[in-house]
Amino acid sequence: MASWAHLAGRFVRAHRPGPLSAADRAFVAEALTPAELSLWERLPRHDHHHTVEVARRVEAALAGTAHAGDSRWLAAALLHDIGKLQSGLGIYGRVVATLAGRARPGRADAWRGQAGWRRRIGDYLRHDLIGGEMLREAEGRPEPAHWAEAHHGRVPVDPAIVPGPVAAVLAEADPD
Tens of pLDDT, residue by residue over 137-155, are 999 999 999 999 999 988 9
Three-state secondary-structure class, residue 4:
helix
Residue 77's pLDDT band, with cuts at 50, 70 and 90, is very high
Q: What is the average per-residue pLDDT within 4-14?
A: 63
Find the DSSP H helices in the chain.
Answer: 4-13, 22-31, 34-40, 45-62, 71-79, 91-103, 108-112, 116-125, 127-137, 142-150, 164-173
Mean residue pLDDT across the chain:
91
CA distance 39 to 70: 20
Q: What is the average per-residue pLDDT within 31-49?
A: 96
CA distance 39 to 15: 22
CA 173, 97, 124, 160 torsion-angle sign: positive
pLDDT of residue 108: 84
What's the pTM? Answer: 0.89
Contact 81, 144 (CB under 8 A): no
pLDDT of residue 105: 83
Residues 6+ apart with CB under 8 A from 135: 36, 39, 79, 82, 141, 144, 145, 148
CA distance 71 to 25: 15
Residues 6+ apart with CB under 8 A from 101: 107, 108, 121, 124, 125
